[in-house]
Amino acid sequence: MKNYFFIAFFFILKLGCEEDYQDNSPPSIYIDSPTDGTTVSEITSIKCIATDNDSVKNVELWIDSSATGLIDSVSPYEFLWDTRSYSDSSIHIMMAVAEDMNNNFSSSDEVRLIVDNTNSNPSLITIESISYSLTNMIITFEKSKDDDFSSYELLRSQTNTSEKNSILNISNINDTIINISDFNPLDSTWYWIKTKDIYGYESIGSGYLVIDIPPSISTLESINFTDSLFILNWSQNQDVDFESYTLNESIFSDMLNPLQIFQGNNSEITFFNRSVVQNQYLYYQIIVRDDWGLQSYSNIKVGCSWYLFNELYGESGFQYGRGMLQTNNGDYIIVGNSSVFGDSFSNAILTKVNYKGEQIWKKDYSFSDTDRLNSFVELENGDLVLVGYSMSSTNSSKDILIIRSDSEGNIIWQHTYGGNEDEVGNSIDITSDNNFIVCGDKIDSNNGKSLCYIMKVNENGEEYWSDEIGGEQNDHGYSIITTSDGGSAISGMTRSSGNISGDAWILKLNNDGIIEWSKSYGGNGSESGRKIIETNDNCYLIVGSSDSFGSGDNDAYLIKIDSQGNQLWSETYGGGGTDHGRFVMQTVDQGYIISGYSDSIGESNNFDFWLFKVDPLGVIEWQRSYNSDGNDRAFSGMQTLDGGYAIAGYGSLNSTTPPDLKIIKTDDQGLTN
């Protein structure tokens, strides 16, 4: 019984002693990682080691002497510190505070950490391409290379600076192609890829603008004219959203009031043949349209249905064009001479070219050492009667040469006319009785001076009569026409009447060659009348040259006189150099076209073909100079059947090459291209 009491007493005593015992020993703690001086970023793991003689209740993380509220009660003690709110390169003091079960506390040694999040954001992702069709848009972008990748997000906005709207999210790092159907490429839209990492960091790559641009431009090529067709070609459009070509035509160079002449949906069909009438300019443009309704406009090309050319015709040696006519079928025939050595030892030539400027045939006529043709007429049956000169076989003087050929240049007959002195035929016309009258020059055997020489022959070349007209000085007959009263008129130059330097000279003859009147025109210098025509109002117009009037050394000279030779008006044309008028013709609008050559009109310092148009009073409407590197001289011209103009003479490629026969065919404004 006592033993039980003792045991109970001892137990009570022992309990009393235990209640009086208090544990005041704090736990032990240190930061295991990161170590002092470490640079940390993003979400950093902090590991602590804490021990106690009893047990550790918890561990709390302190930053910069402030409790973070991060508490861990289970060993190992670990914290995730979010550094993203701290400035880069900032230094922070970290320590851990441990508490045991008896409310004893202890703190670790301080650890200094450096925060640097400059490289913490995900890598910027670039959109590589965006393509689209009518129903689908494909967006391709780079793959993220970050180990802490979380997701891609497609953003979209109407401008580069406005709020970005989220379209969709992708969590698969390998999924770098996005297909969307909600888009309109006609509206300017920006796209971005935003990347997020597992720590919540995010970055947005460069924007990619999508705005449907107009289709690639198709280029319209030069337009070829073949007979009644314009041949149009253009470059193929290679765009995937191609819808159609539209070919427009306009009479205006700026495509005002266009007419649609073709539309096609096959991108491979890039040609069209347009039926056109001759002698006009039309303008063309290709419009390319895409599936979105956007359009692009090509260059504008002009189609010319005039037959235009600027051609030289020749072989070896020298080729001179003197006179030209357009035949009844629209071809051109030119007379002149050719030579290996120049003006001496030459052949008379007759050349025919078609309306395109292509040479059809050429005839060489050789009757003596020196033969030359200056003028000709075409008969109703197509025969040609040609005049010039040939060297006499008896006395080596020049004789007038007249040839009649068929329409192909085959000689029907040929005759020479003359005596012991030189006789030259410069011009020929058909008389009112269907014979031929010729004017030219003849050397006076008494004084060696030149006289105007006229003669009339029948259809077989038999001479009816001839006459010499002139005075004691040099007088020349350059051009003769049959007049409406059945007589004839001659233009030339005289030094025997008027000024000794030379005046333009006009002779009016009756049908028998009797002079009705003779007049000279000019000033104190030298004038000549190279070509005469009868105008529609029964007056006469003469073109030549003058150095008495005008602004240059020599100017083209135009005189209008009435039927009695009274001067109505005169005009000069040219620049500061030498300008010659050699041919004139009344045009269908009652104005006049004049051709010749000039070294003061245009850009060349050499003589160039010259063509100008004047109104009925001689006021110039336009003029053209056809520049070349050689010396060119035009002696003949005309208004052609199509309303354009043609001029002929001779020219060369440059100053060192011999001349060739030259023809220029223009439109109604004197243009050749």
Q: Select from 187, 190, 186, 185 the least CA-distant residue to 161.
A: 190
Rounded distance between C-alpha atoms, residue 379 and residue 384, angstroms: 6
Asked if residue 96 and residue 131 are part of one domain, the reply reads no
Kind plus residue range of the DSSP H or E element containing 14: helix 2-19
Say whether both 486 and 623 belong to one domain. Answer: yes
Q: Are residues 533 and 606 in the same domain?
A: yes
pLDDT at 4: 43
* pLDDT single digits (tens) 205-258: 999 999 988 999 999 999 999 889 999 999 999 998 999 999 999 999 999 999
pLDDT tens, position by position, 72-96: 999 999 999 989 889 999 999 999 9
Q: Which of 158, 184, 210 is the last residue of a domain?
A: 210
Kindly state whether residues 97 and 29 are assigned to the same domain: yes
Mark whether 197 and 259 lie in a shared domain: no
Question: Residue 482 above 70 pLDDT?
Answer: yes
pLDDT of residue 628: 84
pLDDT of residue 199: 85
Residue 343 binned pLDDT confidence (cut-offs 50, 70, 90): low
Q: Which of 89, 115, 141 is the last residue of a domain?
A: 115
DSSP type of residue 278: S
Q: Is the pLDDT of residue 11 over 90?
A: no
In a domain, 671, yes or no: no
For residue 8, tell me if it sits in a domain: no
> Is 145 domain-assigned?
yes
* Res. 20 pLDDT band, cuts 50 70 90: low
Q: Are residues 346 and 380 in the same domain?
A: yes
CATH at residue 281: 2.60.40.10
Q: Is residue 597 a part of any domain in this protein?
A: yes
H/E/C letters for each residue in 590-616? CCEEEEEEECCCCCCCCCEEEEEEECC
Amino acid symbol at 62: W
Q: What is the band of 262 on the pLDDT scale with cuts at 50, 70, 90? A: very high
309 in a structural domain? no
Judged against a pLDDT cut of 50, whether residue 6 lies above it is answered with no
Percent of the chain beyond pLDDT 70? 96
Look up the CATH number of the domain holding residue 450: 2.120.10.30
| Structural domains of the chain, count | 4
Q: What pLDDT score does 329 carry?
A: 87
Structural domain harbouring 94: 24-115
- Tell me if 188 sits within 8 A of 158, measured CB to CB: yes
Q: Do residue 485 and residue 405 come from a single domain? A: yes
Q: Clarify whether residues 134 and 189 are in a common domain.
A: yes
User: So what's the pLDDT on residue 191?
Assistant: 97
pLDDT tens, position by position, 617-646: 999 999 999 988 888 999 999 999 999 999
- Integer Cα distance of 273 and 271 in angstroms: 7
Judgement on whether residues 365 and 296 belong to the same structural domain of the protein: no
Same domain as 154, residue 133: yes
Domain identity same for 276 and 132: no
Within-domain flag for 611: yes
The whole-chain average pLDDT of the chain stands at 92
Q: What's residue 550's pLDDT?
A: 78
Q: Which residues pair with 504 in a beta bridge?
A: 493, 521
Residue 43, pLDDT above cutoff 90: no
pLDDT > 80? residue 14: no
| Domain's final residue, options 152, 181, 210 | 210
pLDDT at residue 552 tops 70: no
319-339: pLDDT as tens digits: 999 999 999 889 999 999 998
CA dist 115 and 112 (Å) reads 10
Return the pLDDT at 356: 93
Q: Which of these, 303, 308, 335, lies nearest to 644 by C-alpha position? A: 308
Q: Are residues 190 and 251 in the same domain?
A: no
Q: Which of 175-184, 268-277, 386-395 has the lowest mean pLDDT?
A: 386-395
- Identify the residue whose tokens are 């090459």: 657
Mean pLDDT within 13-23: 54
Question: Has residue 454 got a pLDDT over 70?
Answer: yes
**159/191 Cα distance (integer angstroms):** 10
Q: Is residue 106 part of a domain?
A: yes
- In terms of average pLDDT, the best of 446-450, 609-613, 669-673 is 609-613
Q: Quick check: 298 pLDDT over 60?
A: yes
Instruction: Quick: pLDDT tens for 210-224.
Output: 998 899 999 999 999
What does the pLDDT read at residue 21? 56
Assigned token pair, 522? 């000019």
- Residue 362 domain-assigned? yes
